[in-house]
């Protein structure tokens, strides 16, 4: 049984903050890790 709950808005800020939070999430759930990596790519595009 998978529990898919939407990520809170502040998560994006955490990702931009640094890799630490991303790595922690990566360890927790592999699926979220992929999602976060995609989100990070978008964040980089916005920044530049």
Phi, psi at residue 5, to the nearest 5°?
-115, 145
Q: What is the pLDDT along the chain (48 residues), one digit of tens a residue?
A: 566 666 555 555 555 556 666 566 666 666 666 666 666 666 555 555
Whether residue 35 is contained in a domain is answered as yes
Q: Domain tally for the chain?
A: 1
Q: Would the pTM count as exceeding 0.85?
A: no
Residue 32 lies in a domain: yes
In a domain, 7, yes or no: no
Structural domain boundaries, residue 38? 19-47
Query: Are residues 22 and 46 in contact, defined by beta-carbon separation less than 8 angstroms?
Result: no
- Give the number of other CB atoms < 10 A from CB of residue 23: 12
Question: Which phi and psi angles does 3 have, rounded to 5°?
Answer: -110, 100
């Amino acid at each position: 049984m998978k529990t898919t709950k939407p990520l809170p808005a502040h998560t994006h800020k955490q990702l931009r903050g640094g890799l630490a939070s991303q790595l922690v999430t990566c360890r927790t759930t592999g699926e979220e890790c992929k999602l976060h990596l995609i989100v990070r790519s978008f964040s980089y595009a916005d920044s530049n």
